[in-house]
Amino acid sequence: MAERDVVLEVDSLVRHFPVKGGLLGRGRSAVQAVDGVSFTLGRGETLGIVGESGCGKSTLARTVVGLDSPTSGSVRYRGTDVHRASGRELRQMRRSVQIVLQDPYTSLNPRKTLRDLLMQPFEIHRDVLPRERRIARIKELVELVGLDPDHLDRYPFQFSGGQRQRIGIARALALEPEVVVCDEPVSALDVSVQAQVVNLLRRLQRELGLSYLFIAHDLSVVRHISDRVAVMYLGKVVELGERAQVYDRPRHPYTRALLEAVPIPDPVGRDERVRVLLAGDPPSPVDPPSGCRFRTRCPKAEDLCAVTEPALAVEATPQTEAACHFPDHTPLARLGA
């Protein structure tokens, strides 16, 4: 691969939420939602981020687009620190990094028509497009995402879930961003509709050269859309690499367990499938285990894991990096596949 054109750089990002408690309501402890995450995103590339609930992937998404501010670390869009930017830089950044939210049923103001919703970006950024050209642009956008331009005066509730997610995508694209963060964009949709939206996102990426940060808990969808995949566990990235590597030769025991847990929609040979089931639920991010955070559920954990935290060496190279003292190197066995 030629020199990567890095558009987004996340460096040692930390986001802790103070926990209410104590006599005066002052927090002594904190939810360590995101705890030292680093990665880069190249132009036209999709980085998939997977993990279970509470692993911090949504906080990461919100922090990247500026909906949340980091406790430490930085997010840089083409060299500009997203959270330190102000004035012109900030506006530019806002335009260039957009988000598609999870739930299309609640992420659109029910009181606004499709026209209002799509007009909103231009009202906030008045300098992007002169007033008289906005309607034409809105119609373009509507067609781009496969909606009917005659429906501009409809309210969100008059659209189906899939259509609403298309509206959300159109809105994110209105300001011609370079990076789109997709925060679980299909998980609220019906199974039969998910594929439409995934296909749309892929088409738009091809046509517009977008970079995606694609966040999901559904490993199948992530595999389908991503170039590279990061696996998060309790606020940390435990494995990061090219998707084929991650999916077929997972190194981290967590990645492995995660992949083995996913049911395969094919009954043939199901009784012969081997899977190592993890015990219990992920621990609370308020008080994560010492050393390696996964050690409490890890089948391979040893004393070392409780003491030393394994580091993840992140390099922009197409290989897998796993934060584990005892990484695996065998391919994932998938009988019946």
Partner 1 sequence: MSAPVLSVDDLSVEFATREGTVHAVRHVGLDVHAGRTLAILGESGSGKSVTAQAIMGLLDTPPARVSSGSIVFEGTDLVGASERTRMRINGEGIAMVFQDALSALNPVYTVGDQISELLRVRRKLSRSAARARAIELMERVRIPAAARRVDDYPHQFSGGMRQRIMIALAVALNPRVLIADEPTTALDVTVQAQIMELLTELRRENGMGLVLITHDLGVVAEVADDVVVMYSGRIVERGSVEELFQRPAHPYTRGLLRSMPRPDREDDELWAIPGAPPSPLRAPGGCAFNPRCDAVVDVCRTDQPELRLIAAGRHSACHLSQEVFDGRA
Partner 2 sequence: MSAPIPETTQAVAVPTAPPSRMDGLRRFVTKPTGALSLAVLLLFVLTGLFGPLFVDRPGGLGTDILQAPSASHWFGTDDLGQDVLAQVVWGTRVSLTVGAAASGLAIVIGTALGLFGAYSRRADAWITTVTDLMLSLPLLPLMIIVTAIAGPSIATLTVVIGLFSWPEVTRLIRSNGMVVVAMPYIDGARALGAGGWRIVTREVLPAVVPLVVVSVLLTAARAVISEAGLSFLGLGDPDSWSWGRIMLNAQRSGVLSTAWWQTLFPSLAILLLVLAATVAGVRFNDTRDPRLKDR
Partner 3 sequence: MVVFTVRRALRAVLTIWIAVTVTFFLLRLLPGDPTLLVVEGDMTPEMQQALRVQYGLDKPMLTQYWLYLTELVQGNLGTSFRQLQPVTDIIVARLPWTLMLAGSAFVLTILLGIPLGVYAAAHRGRRLDRIVQMFGITGHALFVPSIAILLLVVAGSWMGWFPIGGAIDPDTRGLAAYLSLFHHLALPLFSLVIVQLGPYALTLRTNMLEVLGEDYIKSARGRGLSSRRTLWKHALRNAILPALTLMGLQLGTLVGGAVLTETVFAYPGVGRLIFEAVGQLDYPLLQGAFIMLAITVVVANLITDVVSMLLNPRIRT
Site string for partner 1, 86-125 (x = CB under 8 A): ----------------------------------------
Taking the complex as a whole, how short is the minimal distance between the CB of residue 58 and partner 3, in angstroms?
24
Taking the complex as a whole, how short is the minimal distance between the CB of residue 248 and partner 1, in angstroms?
9
Cα–Cα distance for residue pair 282/72, rounded to 1 Å: 24
**Interaction of residue 260 with partner 2, rule CB under 8 A:** no
**Interaction of residue 98 with partner 2, rule CB under 8 A:** yes
Q: Which of 171, 223, 236, 297 binds partner 2 (CB under 8 A)?
A: 171
What does the block give as tokens for 222? 């992530």
Cβ–Cβ under 8 Å, residues 186 and 198: yes
Contacts of 173 (CB under 8 A, 6+ apart): 98, 141, 144, 145, 180, 204, 208
Sheet holding 80-81, edge to edge: 30-42, 6-18, 72-77, 80-81
**Interaction of residue 282 with partner 1, rule CB under 8 A:** yes
105 interface partner picked from partner 3, partner 2, partner 1, none, CB below 5 to 8 A per type: partner 2
Q: Which of 8, 65, 82, 322 binds partner 2 (CB under 8 A)?
A: 65
Cα–Cα distance for residue pair 242/260, rounded to 1 Å: 18
User: How many Cβ atoms are within 10 Å of 246's Cβ, its own excluded?
Assistant: 29
Residue that the structure tokens 């043939």 belong to: 268
Instruction: Give bridge partners of residue 11 from the DSSP assignment.
Output: 74
What does the block give as tokens for 35? 């705890």
Chain residues that interact with partner 1, rule: CB under 8 A: 52-53, 160-163, 190-196, 198-199, 202, 217-221, 223-224, 243-244, 247, 257-268, 270, 275, 277-282, 334, 337
Chain residues that interact with partner 2, rule: CB under 8 A: 62, 65-67, 90-91, 94-95, 98-99, 101-103, 105-111, 120-121, 124-125, 155, 157-158, 168, 171, 175
